[in-house]
Amino acid sequence: MMRSLIATFAFALVCLTASVSSAHSVWIEALPDGQLCIRFAEWGEEFETSPGHLDSFTQVSGWAVGEKGAPSVFEIVKKSDHFLLTGSTSDKPAFGQAPFVVRKLHEDKPARAPIFYCRWQPEGGGAGTPAMTLDIVPTGQPGEARVYFRGKPLPDLEVGLHPPASDEIKLKTDAEGYVRVEDLSKAGPYLLTVARYSEDLPGYFLGVPFAITSHSASLYWTVSKK
Q: pLDDT tens across 38-92, in order?
A: 999 999 899 999 999 999 998 999 999 977 778 999 999 999 999 999 999 999 9
Q: Which domain holds residue 59?
A: 2-223
Give phi and psi for 198, each to the nearest 5: -105, 150
- Mean pLDDT over 169-196 rounds to 96
pLDDT at 105: 75
Q: pLDDT tens across 194-214, in order?
A: 999 999 999 999 999 999 999
pLDDT above 70 covers what percent of the chain? 90
**What predicted TM-score, i.e. pTM, was given to this entire model?**
0.89
Residues in the chain: 226
pLDDT at 20: 52
pLDDT at 68: 74
**Is 128 exposed, middle or buried, given 0-12, 13-18 or 19+ CB atoms closer than 10 A?**
buried
Nearest to 115 by CA among 191, 215, 28: 215
Check: CB of residue 173 under 8 Å from CB of residue 159: yes
Q: pLDDT tens across 102-132, in order?
A: 998 788 889 999 999 999 999 989 999 999 9
pLDDT category of residue 166 using cuts at 50, 70 and 90: confident
Nearest to 163 by CA among 174, 171, 155: 171
Q: How many domains does the chain have?
A: 1
pLDDT at 6: 31
Q: Are strands 212-223 and 112-120 parallel, antiparallel or unpaired?
A: parallel
pLDDT at 147 over 80: yes
Whole-number Å distance between alpha carbons of 212 and 65: 30
pLDDT above 90 covers what percent of the chain? 81
Q: How far is CA 79 from CA 17, 90, 190, in A?
A: 20, 18, 24
pLDDT category of residue 1 using cuts at 50, 70 and 90: very low
The dihedral formed by the CA atoms of 167, 134, 132 and 186, expressed in degrees to the nearest 10: -20
pLDDT at 3 over 60: no
- Mean pLDDT over 12-22 rounds to 45
List the 112-120 sheet strands across, edge first. Answer: 71-73, 61-65, 94-99, 112-120, 212-223, 188-199, 158-162, 169-172
Query: For residue 157, what is the DSSP state?
Result: -
- Mean pLDDT over 146-156 rounds to 98
| 43 contact partners, CB below 8 Å, separation of at least 6 | 25, 162, 168, 191, 193
pLDDT at 187 over 50: yes
User: What is 120-149 written as a DSSP string?
Assistant: E--TT-------SSEEEEE-SSTTEEEEEE
* H helices, E strands: number in the chain: 1, 18
pLDDT at 5: 33
Query: For residue 11, what is the DSSP state?
Result: H
Nearest to 88 by CA among 63, 68, 70: 63
**Is 225 exposed, middle or buried, given 0-12, 13-18 or 19+ CB atoms closer than 10 A?**
exposed
Q: Specify which residues 82 forms β-bridges with.
A: none
Supply the mean pLDDT for the chain: 90
